Amino acid sequence: MAGYDYDLFVIGGGSGGVRAARVAAALGKRVGIAEEYRFGGTCVIRGCVPKKLYVYASQFPEHFADAVGYGWTVPEASFDWQTLVANKDREISRLEAIYKKNVEGSGGETFHTRAMIVDPHVIHLLSEDRTVTADQILIATGGRPAAHPALPGHEHCIFSNEAFDLKELPKAIMIEGGGYIAVEFANIFHGLGVDTTLVYRGQEILGRFDMDLRRTLHETMEKKGIKILCHSVSESVSKRPDGRLDAQLIGGQVLTVDQVMLAIGRIPNTENMGLEGIGIEMTAATGAIKVDPYSRTNIDNIWAIGDVTNRVQLTPVAIHEAMCFVETAFKDNPTAPDHDTIATAVFSQPEIGTVGLSEDEAVKRFADIEIYRASFRPMRHTLSGRDEKMLIKLVVDGASRRVLGAHILGPDAGEMAQLLGIPLKAGLTKDDFDRTMAVHPTASEELVTMYKPTYRVKDGERV
C-alpha cells in the first residue's frame, strides 16, 4: 500500500463518494477525491435539496388560502422566482462548502477535476494534467437525466437540471414522465402558479407504488388544477415563431407551452472515464457498472457505489453503500448493502411516504393478505375547508401477521415513512402495532387504531 500515493482514490464528490472519502480518511487512510463539477453531487446541487426548497416555496399559496378558515386575513401575495433561485443558490453553496470541508477536515484531499482511470491503480487528473496512484479506487460518479434523442425537437426540451435555474418562471409547462421527478416538479410548478400538464405514457402515474396511493394522488392533483394525461406521449416538440413550444402528443393533441421538461429516468455516468480501456464490466442496457454484493467491480481493487451502479437510485442508499464499502475494504468486515425494505417519499402535494410491499406485490407473494385502510380528511383541513383526503394503508400477511407494507398519502407522509421504516425493517407484526398506544390527535394515530381489516385478499381474490 505504501507504494501508492493514496490508499483510496474516490471519483465523484456526491453523497456516496464524499461519505466514503470522509469515513476512510477518518480511519487514517490516505484519501483523495476528485469532483469535476460541485461537491455535493446531484442530491445537494440539483436534486433532493433544491427540490425540497422549491416544494416549500410552492406550498405557500395553499397555506395562505387555508389561513382564512382560521381567522386570518391574508393580503394578496406575489411571488418572485429570481429571489427563490438566488436564495436556493446561497443555500446549496453553503452545503457544498460543508461537503468539501468534511472531507478535508477528516484528512482527505479534494481535487476539482475530471478523473480518468488509465490503469487499475493509476488515475489521470485532467485539469491538473498529472497522474496519481491508488491502492483502492471507488467510482461514485452518479447519473444524469436520460436524454430522448428519438423525440423530434428534443433539443428544445429541458431536464430537472435546468428546471432549477430557469431565467424566468414559465407561464405554462408540459412535463413528460410519470415517475418521482415528473410528479414532484408538476406539483412545484403548479404551486408556483404555472399552468402545468403532466404527460405519462402508462396507465397511472408513479408505477411501483401502491395503486391506491397512485389513484388518490392523481385525483388530488387534478382537483388542484394540474392536468394529467395518461396513456399519452409526445411525438414531437417544435418552436413557434413567438418563441413558445408546440408539443404534439400522440392522437393529435397539441400543447402550447413555454417549457417542455423531460423526466424519463436517469442513466449512469460511465462515459469517458477510461472504464472500457481497463475492462470494467458494465450492463449493456444502461451502461451501469456491474458490481458484486459488496460493491466490488470485476477488477479486484476497483469498487462502485450509488447511481452509477443503477441498483436503487436514492441518496440514502448511496450513503449506506459507502459505509458498507468502507467496512469491507478497510475494516476487514465484509458487509453487503441491504437493499430490502427501503422507506421512500415522493414530495408530491400531498406527499407520499411508503415502505415495504404494495398491495399488488403482496398479493403475488402471499396467499392471505389483510388490508387495513383509512381515508379521512386531516384535521387541519376541517377549518381550512380544503377538500383533500389523507390515505393510510397497512398491508399485512394474514398467516404470520407481519406488516409487509405501510403506505401514506397526506401531509408529512415522508416523515412518517422514515419512522415506519424501523418497525417494518424489524419485521414487527400487526399485533405489535395494535398494542402501541396512539398519539392523539394526530393523523398517524390511524396506524395503530385500525383494528379490523377493511378487506382481505385470499389467493388473489378480494373477500
Q: Among 233, 419, 428, 448, which residue sits at the site for ligand NDP (rule: CB under 6 A)?
A: 233
Cβ nearer to ligand NDP, comparing 170 with 177: 177
- For the bound state, the minimum distance from the C-beta of residue 223 to ligand NDP, rounded and expressed in Å, comes to 21
Cβ contact 68:45 at 8 Å: no
Q: At what angle do helices 315-330 and 15-26 cross, to 10 degrees?
A: 30
Q: Cβ distance 212 to 393 under 8 Å?
A: yes
Applying CB under 6 A, the span of 58-66, 195-203, 278-286, 353-361 interacting with ligand NDP comes to 195-203
The interaxial angle of helices 180-191 and 48-67, nearest 10 deg, is 40
Active site residue 440: yes
Nearer of residues 234 and 297 to ligand NDP, judged by Cβ: 234
- Asked if 202 interacts with ligand NDP (CB under 6 A), we say yes
Query: Sign of the CA dihedral 366, 413, 53, 194?
Result: positive
Pairing, β 130-139 against β 122-125: antiparallel
Question: Rule CB under 6 A: which of 405-444 touch ligand NDP?
Answer: none
Nearer to ligand NDP, 134 or 267 (CB): 267
Asked if 424 and 387 touch (Cβ cutoff 8 Å), the reply is: no
345 binds ligand NDP (CB under 6 A): yes
- Does residue 321 bind ligand NDP (CB under 6 A)? no
Q: How many residues bind ligand NDP (CB under 6 A)?
A: 24
Question: With binding defined as CB under 6 A, does residue 314 bind ligand NDP?
Answer: yes
User: CB of 150: closest distance to ligand NDP in angstroms?
Assistant: 7
Q: Are 344 and 431 in contact (CB under 8 A)?
A: no
Contact mark string toward ligand NDP, 132..161, x via CB under 6 A: ----------------x-------------
Q: Is 180 in the site for ligand NDP (CB under 6 A)?
A: yes
Give 135's contacts (C-beta < 8 A, 6+ positions apart). 1, 4, 6, 7, 8, 121, 301
- Give the residue with the Cβ less far from ligand NDP, 254 or 367: 254
**Is position 181 an interface residue for ligand NDP (rule: CB under 6 A)?**
yes
Pairing of strands 352-356, 172-176: unpaired
Closest CB 24 distance from ligand NDP, rounded Å:
26
Pattern of binders to ligand NDP over 245-284, x per CB under 6 A? ------------------xxxx------------------
Looking at beta carbons only, is 41 or 177 nearer to ligand NDP?
A: 177
Q: Is 176 in the site for ligand NDP (CB under 6 A)?
A: yes
Q: Does 179 participate in binding ligand NDP (rule CB under 6 A)? A: yes
Q: Which is nearer to ligand NDP, 180 or 189 (CB)?
A: 180
Q: Which of 63, 231, 339, 440 is catalytic?
A: 440
Contact by Cβ (8 Å): 372, 454: yes
- Nearer to ligand NDP (CB atom), residue 176 or residue 212: 176
Among 13, 170, 177, 410, binds ligand NDP (CB under 6 A): 177
- Min separation Cβ 28 and ligand NDP, Å: 34
Task: At 382, list the grid cell.
Answer: 376541517
Under a CB-based contact definition with an 8 Å cutoff, are residues 134 and 108 in contact? no
- At which residue does the C-alpha cell 477535476 appear? 113
Interaction between residue 346 and ligand NDP (CB under 6 A): yes
Candidates 6, 9, 209, 347: give the one binding ligand NDP (CB under 6 A): 347
Q: Which long-range contacts (CB under 8 A, 24 or more apart) does 343-347 make?
A: 343/417, 343/418, 343/420, 343/421, 343/424, 344/314, 344/417, 345/413, 345/414, 345/417, 345/418, 346/180, 346/183, 346/184, 346/206, 346/209, 347/51, 347/52, 347/55, 347/184, 347/187, 347/414
Which residue of this chain has its Cβ atom nearest to ligand NDP in the complex? 179
Written as one letter, the residue type at 92 is I
**How far is residue 353 from each of residues 113, 323, 413, 451, measured CA to CA in Å?**
38, 25, 5, 21
Minimum Å gap between C-beta 202 and ligand NDP is: 4
Among 14-22, 181-189, 190-198, 377-385, the segment contacting ligand NDP (CB under 6 A): 181-189
Backbone angles phi, psi at 283, to 5 degrees: -75, 150
**Shortest spacing between CB 160 and ligand NDP, in angstroms:** 7
Rounded distance between C-alpha atoms, residue 100 and residue 427, angstroms: 38
Q: Which of 144, 154, 201, 227 binds ligand NDP (CB under 6 A)?
A: 201
Please report how close the Cβ of residue 10 comes to ligand NDP at its closest, in angstroms: 22
Beta bridge partner(s), residue 115: 125
Name the minimum Å distance from CB 355 to ligand NDP. 13
Q: Which DSSP string corresponds to 291-342?
A: --TTSB-SSTTEEE-GGGGTS---HHHHHHHHHHHHHHHHSS-------SS-
Interface residue list for ligand NDP (CB under 6 A): 148, 176-182, 184, 200-202, 207, 233, 263-266, 313-314, 344-347
Q: Give the catalytic positions in this structure.
A: 440
